[in-house]
Amino acid sequence: MKISTSQIGYLGVGMKTLALELGHQWIDPERPGRKGLLRARRFSPEYCCYPFRLALADCLSALERGADTIVFFGGKGICRLAMYQSVQREILTHEGWRFRAHVVSGNIRSSLYGILRSESPHGQSMSYTPRTFIGFWKFMAKLKVIERWRYTLLSVRPYCIDQSAATQLFSRLVSQLDRTHGVLGIRRLSKKGLRELNRLEQDRSVLLPRIGLIGESYACIDEFTNRRIIERLNRMGIEVVSPISEYKFMSVVTRLYYKTEASRIAQARRFFKAPGGGDSLLSAAYAMEFARTTDGILHLYPFTCLPETSVRQVITPYLAERAVPYFHFNLDEQMAEEGFATRLETFADMVRMRAKPGE
Beta strands in 21-82 (DSSP E): 25-26, 69-73
User: Per-residue confidence of the chain (359 residues) as pLDDT tens digits?
Assistant: 899 988 888 999 999 998 999 899 999 998 777 777 888 888 888 778 888 888 899 999 999 999 999 988 765 555 666 678 888 889 999 999 999 887 776 566 666 666 678 788 888 888 888 888 898 889 989 999 999 999 999 999 999 999 999 999 999 999 999 999 999 999 999 999 999 999 999 999 999 999 999 998 889 998 888 999 999 999 999 999 999 899 888 776 655 555 666 777 778 888 877 666 778 888 999 999 999 999 999 999 998 888 888 899 999 999 999 999 999 998 887 767 788 889 999 999 999 988 875 44
111 and 231 together in one domain = no
End residue of a domain, out of 82, 112, 137? 137
| 150, part of any domain | no
End residue of a domain, out of 91, 122, 137? 137
262 and 358 together in one domain = yes
Beta strands in 191-348 (DSSP E): 210-215, 239-241, 297-302, 326-331
d(CA 158, CA 230): 10
Phi and psi torsions of 298, nearest 5°: -110, 130
d(CA 83, CA 86): 6
d(CA 146, CA 13): 9
Q: What integer pLDDT is reported at residue 358 of this predicted model?
A: 47
127 and 255 together in one domain = no
121 and 227 together in one domain = no
Q: What integer pLDDT is reported at residue 106 of this predicted model?
A: 59
Phi and psi torsions of 334, nearest 5°: -90, -10
Q: What integer pLDDT is reported at residue 296 of this predicted model?
A: 96
Do residues 71 and 3 make contact, with C-beta atoms less than 8 angstroms apart? yes
Rg, C-alpha atoms of the chain: 21
238 and 323 together in one domain = yes
Q: Tell me which residue range forms the domain holding 358.
A: 207-359
End residue of a domain, out of 114, 137, 160? 137
Give the chain's count of helices (H) and strands (E). Answer: 17, 8
Strands of the sheet with 210-215, listed across from one edge: 239-241, 210-215, 297-302, 326-331
Q: What integer pLDDT is reported at residue 335 of this predicted model?
A: 62
Which helix (H) or strand (E) is 142 found in, with range? Answer: helix 128-156
Residue-by-residue DSSP string for 169-193: HHHHHHHHHHH--SHHHHHHHHHHH
Q: Check residue 174 and give left, alpha or beta (phi > 0: left; psi -120 to 50: alpha).
A: alpha
Q: What integer pLDDT is reported at residue 128 of this predicted model?
A: 84
Q: What integer pLDDT is reported at residue 84 of this predicted model?
A: 80
226 and 130 together in one domain = no
Q: What integer pLDDT is reported at residue 304 of this predicted model?
A: 81
The three-point CA angle 14-189-71 to 5° equals 5
The domain total for the chain is 2
CATH code of the domain in which 78 resides: 3.40.50
Please give the DSSP secondary-structure letter assigned to residue 24: P
214 and 97 together in one domain = no
Neighbours of 167 (CB within 10 A): 17
